[in-house]
Structure 1
Amino acid sequence: MTEATDAMEYDVVVLGAGPVGENVADRTRAAGLSTAIVESELVGGECSYWACMPSKALLRPVIARAEARRVAGLRQAASGPLDVQAVLAHRNEFTSNWKDDGQVGWLTGIGADLYRGHGRLDGKRRVVVTAPDGELRVLNARHAVAVCTGSRALLPELPGLAGANPWTSREATASQSVPGRLVVVGGGVVGVEMATAWRALGSEVTLLVRGTGVLPKMEPFAGELVVEALTEAGATVRTGVSLAAVERTGGTGPVTVVLTDGERIEADEVLFATGRAPRTEDIGMESVGLEPGSWLTVDDSCLVEGSDWLYAVGDVNRRALLTHQGKYQARIAGAAIAARAEDSSVPVSAPWGPYATTADHAAVPQVVFTDPEVGAVGLSLAEAERAGHRVRAVDYEIGNVSGAALYVDGYHGRARMVVDLEREILRGVTFVGPGVGELLHSATIAVAGEVPISRLWHAVPSYPTISEVWLRLLETYRDE
């Protein structure tokens, strides 16, 4: 390690060049603030190379084939297996073969300065970057430092796991070959999506879930329909099971998962999709009085609690571990940084209007790209009731809508809207079924905009489309 060079001065320093950090830099540069961005891996971050993009590239042909098999005239043509090498090559293309030249070019284009290496806070408004060659560079921020370092896979403490070379979401989305047998541990979004993808690509998949079902944060019927489809596709789904150990000699060859009842399950790979942890363990949190490895508590402009200069944007603040929510936060945080840089009288607490991440509280949308798809926004029925709202769930079988029946033969799905009976607005909406991901933004607008039921009647859905389910939900609400 070499001595630090003279400090460079910037208005804003951003730690992490994933989608969140990129969007903070984009907003601050648009406001005329000089901005440095620090990245220890690939510019573009987790989403571009190991999460959203590669996982959806793997899943898209899976879902397209499943839907084609349900359409008269296409069923026979889609009866064969997927071209595995073509699917993997398609995935590789969407990750730019794990090269970030394009993303670096974009950063250069907006006028941000990229520093490659490991960045650590070193006191107030100061960041020290250790470059790959060991050189130290000091970056001082006149106005703000934004921590956008994201999250990493959280592995449980299990005997034998450390030496077993388990898959996490990174290995699951980047593998260049199909494991003959794959055990997936965890019933959240990553677990069910990767079980769907690798089963369709030829793996014998066993999904192990500690709880009573999958997708536990969503409406119960969502998980039930996904399990039904996984089982029909040939995967084995087991709930209410816990692991005692993992065994793998030398970290290669077959891996054995040992359950707490002594049962042993052998596979070629084991994927742990058991949660996320913030990437704050080695970024100098202690130098500013914060705990290394902790989630960072922020206000609605993403300003860290108790600070007037440190922002935490995206996964690290634990509000919503979703790329689109992180980018939303980044746009608002960038605007808040710019406003406070221009006018020091702008309050550092109680942000307002365009500087408040209000959609983080009750209107977070998410799509699960399984077969069937799941789309949900806002509160589930149970969440709304726990929050003290007087609500009613209104359900409708999406397959009874003409547009759905035309979309695929034998369409089976379910829609639910959670109605606040006092205000007559929607607290949450959930769709499960083929193609429902594209319905979700209409629901997000209704929930985020607190559109009254009386006005939703005048949002006329096109016929014949799946979106006609909106009319059927409103009719059911009226008639029950």
Structure 2
Amino acid sequence: MRPSQKFNLHPSTHSAKDLETKTFDVICIGSGWAGRQLAAQVCKAGFTALVVEKELFGGDCPFWACVPSKVLLRSQDALDAANAVGGAKERILDAKVDANGVFARRDVITANKDDTQLLVPMTEATGATLVRGQAKLADVKNVQIAPFEGEPVEVEARLAVAICSGSEAVIPDGVKAADPWTPRDATSADYVPEKLIIMGAGAVGCEMATAYAGFGSKVTLISSSGSLLPSIDSEAGTIVRKSLEERGVVVKLATKVTKATRTDYGVEAVLSTGEKLSASELLVASGRKATLDFGLEKLGLSSHGTHIPVNESLCVKTFDGNDWLYAVGDVNGKAPFTHSASRIAGNAIIAKARGQTPSNITLTLGDRKAIPQVTFTSPIVASVGLTRKAAATKGIQVRQITAPAKTIGGILHSDTIADGWAQWLVDEEERLVGATIVGTDAADLIHASTVAIVGGMKLEQMVHAVPCFPTMSEVYLGLLEAAGY
């Protein structure tokens, strides 16, 4: 049994048969960040909302993804930080984390996959109604909920239905026979594989390589592209690769796993190079697809594509021609970062219900130009806006400015801090359009660049924003000096 399969995903609470009403203003299918935030937003505006969830309330983030993955990484990060400061490192007896201690801390923070401990009361406190079951679109504004026991129940939305179902891991046909780990298994495991092969060198693959190498697993990281973290600037991937290799991770670039099988001792994988690898487990972190099993065909939509097409307000064009169906988050492929996407749809729904013009109130997908992302490897990689590759694709001429991410504040922070790397991209008007920071505290440092991009700031303005001394934020002085200011 894989680690993720030992948990009960269908608790008996919140049955559809217990619903006191069958009509709500908004119905959200999926209780991840997008669904919860959208429901909370419409409830705050004075409307009613129903959230339908087929697994645990909260979605992937609190139980399988963002939260547990960062817990797995944090202990080694803290130990490394202490081991890099004289006066602290002398007290450290072992530079390796205790994996069992990390797993125990994760279980506490994730409430041992019990959604009634935090996620249910937190969501209900917003005014939303929760129900468990598999949702299907039955008709215009009508949703059928199939409980895990009992007969289906049909509910109706007065204003809108929002599909906020997220995405799921894709397992290539060639490796299914190995019964591989998905990211859920990697974040919920309670043991450390002696040898671990990881397919995919995006954020999930690199983070899990960092975590499991810290636990003592012999990790082989396989990237089908020529670099790690291919969606970010190539220099960031190069720095992360060097760090992983220093931790004992074997990195194979421009390589694929073409076939994998389960053996008496674990798994055996065949690579595109012809090489064969044996390991205790194989983790597939090479891609995800939108979860679209909601009867979209009844509305003239396809559930076989990768995403649901939407307009700038995340509204779906249906056969009846009315604006009532929305696709929020991973399912639309257009604005997958749910911390902004739910507000876009929520503002549109509320504006229409109040007879207002949505264009005057709705956040649009233009906000995507400054949505930051962070990969919690060691060192941390944070980026926002355009990369050099993305700028070239858009035909935008940019000037690259780079500087070490090592500062006086950093030297005080750590005796062995690496130089790191910081990059700005500015357009022909010297306006900031992209930023990448690799190094200690990069996750917190990136926000200043995010604000600058949102505000359309030029370097001549940014030179007046003086960072505190001595802090890690002095990296911005280095970038301004490198830019000639």
Q: 1:270 aligns with which of 282, 285, 291?
A: 282
Tell me the residue number matched to 1:109: 125
Query: Residues 277-309 of structure 1, C-alpha deviation per residue, up to 9 Å, x if partnerless?
Result: 0000x2111111111143012222211245511
TM-score calculated relative to the size of structure 1: 0.93
AA aligned to 1:457 is V
Aligned to 1:326: 338
Matches within 5 A, 1:421-436: 421-422=428-429, 424-436=430-442
**Cα separation, 2, equivalents of 1:71 and 1:15:** 49
Query: How far 1:229 moved relative to its partner?
Result: 0.5
What is the Cα deviation at residue 353 of structure 1? 4.5
Do the aligned residues in 2 keep the contact of 1:320 with 1:364 (CA within 8 Å)?
A: no
Q: Deviations over 1:295-330 (max 9, x none)?
A: 012222211245511111111111354xxx302211
1:339 matched residue in structure 2: 351
Partner of 1:371: 378
Structure 2 SS opposite 1:355: coil
Query: What is the CA distance between 1:5 and its match in structure 2?
Result: 10
Q: Which stretch shows the higher mean deviation, 71-80 or 369-378?
A: 71-80
In the TM superposition, what is the alpha-carbon distance from 1:440 to its structure 2 partner?
Answer: 1.2
- Mapped to 2, the partners of 1:331 and 1:3 lie a distance apart of 31
RMSD, aligned CA: 1.9
Structure 2: 5+ residue stretches without partners = 1-15
Please point out which of 356, 363, 367 is paired with 1:355: 363
Q: Which residue of 2 aligns with 1:35?
A: 49
Question: Any conservation in 1 of the 2:335–2:365 contact (CA below 8 Å)?
Answer: no
1:51 equivalent in alignment to 2:78: no
Tell me if structure 1 keeps the 8 A contact 2:22–2:156. yes
Shift of 1:107: 2.4
SS of 2:467's equivalent in the other structure is: coil
Q: How far 1:6 sits from its partner (Å)?
A: 11
Q: Which residue of 1 aligns with 2:148?
A: 132
* Distance (whole Å) between structure 2 residues aligned to residue 74 and residue 191 of structure 1: 31
The correspondence for 2:244, drawn from 230, 233, 244, is: 230
Residues 1:227 and 1:126: Cα distance change in structure 2 (over 3 Å): same
Equivalent residue for 2:8?
Answer: none
1:206 to 216, 220, 227: 220
Which residue of structure 2 aligns with residue 388 of structure 1? 395
Aligned counterpart in structure 2 of residue 308 of structure 1, from 323, 334, 341? 323
Contact 1:145 1:310 in 2 (8 A): yes
Cα distance change on mapping 1:172 and 1:5 into 2, 3 Å: closer
Instruction: Encode CA deviations 1:226-268: one digit per residue, 9 max, x unaligned.
Output: 010000011111112122210114xx64100111333211111
- The within-5 A match list for 1:152-167 is 152-158=168-174, 161-167=175-181
Q: 1:202 to 1:320 in 2, by over 3 A?
A: farther
- 1:139-154 aligned at under 5 Å gives the runs 139-154=155-170
**TM-score normalised to the size of structure 2?**
0.92
The alpha-carbon deviation at position 404 of structure 1 amounts to 1.9
Alignment correspondent of 1:221: 235
Alignment of 1:281-296 (within 5 A): 282-294=293-305, 295-296=307-308
Distance 1:74 1:303, change over 3 A: same
Q: Which amino acid aligns with 2:88?
A: L
Maintained 8 Å contact 1:63/1:370: no
Evaluate the alpha carbon distance shift between residue 203 and residue 320 of structure 1 in structure 2; reply closer, same or farther with a 3 A threshold: farther
Deviations 1:385-409, CA, capped at 9 Å, x for gaps: 221222100000122x211222222
Closer/same/farther in 2, CA of residues 3 and 403 from structure 1, 3 Å limit:
closer
One-letter code of the match for 1:356?
Answer: T
Task: Give the alignment partner of residue 458 of structure 2, picking from 452, 457, 468.
Answer: 452
> For the structure 1 residues 3 and 338, does the alpha-carbon distance in structure 2 shift closer, same or farther, using more than 3 Å as the test?
closer
Residue 97 of structure 1 corresponds to 112
In the TM superposition, residue 436 of structure 1 has moved relative to its aligned partner by 1.2
Shift, 1:426, TM fit: 0.6
Rate the CA distance shift 1:352–1:267 in 2: closer, same or farther, 3 A: farther
Secondary structure at the counterpart of residue 178 of structure 2: coil
Count matched residues.
463
8 A contact 2:347–2:361 mirrored in 1 = no
Deviation of 1:224 (Å): 0.5
2:197 corresponds to 1:197: no
Residues 67 and 135 (structure 1 numbering): CA distance in 2 closer, same or farther, change over 3 Å? same
After TM superposition, the runs of 4+ consecutive aligned structure 1 residues lying more than 4 A away are 2-7
Taking every aligned residue pair, what percent have the same amino acid on both sides?
A: 38
8 A contact 2:133–2:148 mirrored in 1: yes
CA–CA distance in structure 2, aligned partners of residues 406 and 197 of structure 1: 26
Asked if 1 retains the 8 angstrom alpha-carbon contact of 2:65 and 2:184, the reply is yes
